[in-house]
Amino acid sequence: MKDGENLEKLLGASREKIDAIDGRIMELLAERASVVAEVAEVKKANNLPVYHPAREEDLITSRRKLAKELNLSPDMAEEIFRTVLRNSRIKQTGTMAGKAVNPSAKILVVGGAGAMGRLLVRWFTQAGYEVRVLEREDWPRAASLCDKIDLAILSVPIQATAQAAQMLSAHLPKDAILADITSVKKEPVRAMLKAHAGPVLGLHPMFGPTTESFDKQIVVVTEGRESEKCEWVVRQLAAWGAVTVKSTPEEHDEMMDVVQALRHFATFCFGRFLCDQKVNLARTLEFSSPIYRLELGMVGRLFAQDPELYADIIFSTPERRELLKGFVKNLSENVKLLDDSDVEGFLKEFRRVSQWFGPFGEQAIRESTYLIEKMVERF
């Protein structure tokens, strides 16, 4: 055993070695970034996609292999290079953002001063499009704003969409695309089809206005009319890195009943109960496994956001409200299990649902285990 001073010296020397190694790693990362920037320029000049899944998987596989040879953890290597790859993808997407798929197109964003509207304006402008904005006070100038436009995007609340489409239609060139970005699609697409005789496109970007990059973000694309004429808009979204999912307005809304409304409603109910029970939040966190913290984080996240947004989603259609009532009713059936301490009944139900989830369970374990590790690593 060494005395304290020597020990400090010894550890200090090791720390200096580690700092030096890390410094060299960082320099190599900077060198790597400059090579990637060259690649991005070549890709841009030749209209090649940013995201090359096969190359990325090859790269990860070879780094894992190398890690084993060097007696390092392959999982660590994978994590590090996934981080590096994502960052280069975002940088490349940034380079690509300057690339317009249909450069001569003129675009009008109705509600372009709202949060999502500003995002659209920024992205289309960066890509070199001529972008105009129509706000509530601009309706008297609607005719000149609509002059020779190729695409009008409605970025207004759900309940204002039909009226905006109607008011715009008088000024819209016949061949212009009329599109919207609300979180329901059946009614808005119907209203746009009624208001405008030309191409109609229903979009639902599955992300909020704080999103910095389109990278791997999902945009649902529902056809309204003359979809071939709308194709360039979809290609533009893909060029920015978004994943576009084609659907019908009907299927979209049905999916969102679950993906958005049910999930948000259940989360709302859970948070409300915690509040009504006056649960000691801070103390539960001290006792929490990463998974509880993760789940409570999802609840806290909802309540830290705009309530109007959630009201919009939850109350948007009668079908949706019926579904949510069905959820409460279904849930009440579990009271009997509790009343009777019916463990057997619970196990039977559990196994039935388990079977229904099928192979998704394995995927869920894999994905959530990874995230829990990330959580432990970071917080």
Positions 124 through 163 that interact with a second copy (CB under 8 A): none
Interface region with a second copy, contact rule CB under 8 A, candidates 112-120, 134-142, 225-233, 304-312: 304-312
| Distance separating alpha carbons of residues 85 and 97, to the nearest angstrom | 18
Q: Are 34 and 88 in contact (CB under 8 A)?
A: no
Q: Is 79 in the site for a second copy (CB under 8 A)?
A: yes
Q: Are 110 and 134 in contact (CB under 8 A)?
A: yes
Interface region with a second copy, contact rule CB under 8 A, candidates 4-12, 115-123, 144-152, 194-202: 4-12
C-beta closer to a second copy: residue 170 or 376: 376
Q: How far is CA 25 from the centre of its chain?
A: 31
Q: Are 211 and 227 in contact (CB under 8 A)?
A: no
| Distance separating alpha carbons of residues 353 and 360, to the nearest angstrom | 12
Q: Is 283 in the site for a second copy (CB under 8 A)?
A: yes
Q: Is 30 in the site for a second copy (CB under 8 A)?
A: yes
Q: Least Å distance between CB 227 and a second copy?
A: 19
Q: How far is CA 241 from the centre of its chain?
A: 12
Residue with tokens 């993760």: 294
Q: Is 61 in the site for a second copy (CB under 8 A)?
A: no
Q: Is 245 in the site for a second copy (CB under 8 A)?
A: yes
Interface region with a second copy, contact rule CB under 8 A, candidates 32-40, 131-139, 140-148, 160-168: 32-40
C-beta closer to a second copy: residue 100 or 167: 100
Q: Of all residues in the chain, what percent are helix, strand and coil, respectively (each to 5)?
A: 65, 10, 25
C-beta closer to a second copy: residue 167 or 323: 323
Burial of residue 309 (CB within 10 Å: 0-12, 13-18, 19+) is middle
C-beta closer to a second copy: residue 167 or 314: 314
The contact pattern for a second copy, residues 306-345, with x = CB under 8 A and - = no contact, is -xx-xx--xx-----x-xxxxxx-xxx-xx--xx-x-x--
Interface region with a second copy, contact rule CB under 8 A, candidates 119-127, 160-168, 229-237, 296-304: 296-304
DSSP label of 148: T
